[in-house]
Amino acid sequence: MAKKRANKVEKQTRIPGTADPIPEEVQEAADEYVEAKREKAAWNESMNGRRERLIEVMINHGVHELDIDDGEKKLVLVDEHKLKIQAKKSSDTVAAEEAAFA
């Protein structure tokens, strides 16, 4: 036999349409939040379109990686749907790795 729930959820006792008014400060904060979420969604859509165009152009030109951020990082085309940003190894790191494996 199933156990009964110890804490029963109270049923709503309010009459529809009689909710307490929301403070103006709360409503303004909620409106700002919703607007920011909408702006972010529009920005994400723009970013996705730019990424897709970059991938298409890289494939068309046979480019699979390129330096960005003044050569500190590289942008790598992983597959036809994915880009990856990788930090370039400094010459000190490369020399240390070569010495470790020598």
Q: Rounded distance, CA 71 to CA 66, Å?
A: 9
Q: Is the pLDDT of residue 75 over 90?
A: yes
pLDDT tens digit string along 30-72? 999 999 999 999 999 999 999 999 999 999 999 999 999 888 9
Mean pLDDT over 11-39 rounds to: 86
Query: Which residue did the predictor score with more confidence, 96 or 71?
Result: 71
Distance CA 102, CA 84 (A): 30
Return the amino acid letter for 32: E
Q: Is the pTM of this model over 0.85?
A: no
Measured CA to CA, the distance from residue 78 to residue 76 in angstroms comes to 6
Where do the structural domains in the chain lie, given as residue ranges?
25-101
